Every structure is written in structure tokens, then in C-alpha cells.
Amino acid sequence: MFDKYIIVADTLRNVGPADAPTGFAFQTKLGYYRGLGLSMVEELTVTVDGQAIPRDAIRFDEGAGALTLDDMAEAYDRRWPFGTAAEIIVDHPGGLAPGDHEITLQQKLRVSYMPFPSFNNDRKTMHVA
């Protein structure tokens, strides 16, 4: 429904020391029209320039501290409000080279009244300075 808004444009950046980045990060918004508990975010799948990122290299932070995807499954006391940007942090030694990169994100969400998961997808080309 809100797929084209899932990846927040122009938020891609390297993380860690400038001379030795440990990965990259970008902002995301929920692809569902209401907020959800973090335990209802079943999967976040990231690719960069066509390369799939391993699940254990992805962390998520809605503002209360970064969690692994496994930790999110049990984060019953944390919520991701609709319209609020969260950060996806990816462990990627060396970060991303300066220039344009194509980022894709799929959110697999468990919505209480739907008998199947909601899959929301976005793709954006963003620039790393």
C-alpha cells in the first residue's frame, strides 16, 4: 500500500569510523497503515546492488536501541508507529564505496486480522558521499 515510501530517500550513509566503516545504514518507514509491535515484523530483507545481505548482518532501530531481527521477534514491549522513520543498520565491513547504490528492502509483516503475511517492497538508488 505504501511501498514507494518504505525506503526514505537520501538517507544512505556509511557507519563507523570514516577511515574504516563497519557497514551502512538507511531509514525506513512502515509499509502498513497502522503501527505494529516489533514482534510483528517477521522479516526485513535487504539487498545492495543486487547482492543479498545475510539476515544476521541486519539490525533495526526504531529509536529505542538497535535490535537483531531475532531479538525483534521477542520485543513485545516495543512498537513502530506509522509514519515514524526507523533505521536499518547493516554490518558490511568497509561500508559502501562512494557513489550510487541500489537498495531494496522487503518488509514481511504479521497483521492480526490477515490470514497471510503482508509483503511490502521498495527499491531506491541512493548516493553515498
Which CATH number goes with the domain that contains 36? 2.60.40
Q: Are 67 and 59 in contact (CB under 8 A)?
A: yes
Task: Tell me which H or E stretch contains 71.
Answer: helix 69-72
94 φ, ψ (degrees, to nearest 5): 90, -10
Number of domains in the chain: 1
Report the DSSP beta bridge partners of residue 28.
Answer: 7, 86
Taking only the tens of pLDDT, the chain with its 129 residues reads 578 889 999 999 999 999 999 999 999 999 888 899 999 999 999 999 999 999 999 999 999 999 999 999 999 999 999 999 999 999 999 999 999 999 999 999 988 777 778 899 999 999 998
- State the residue range of the domain holding 84: 3-128
pTM: 0.94
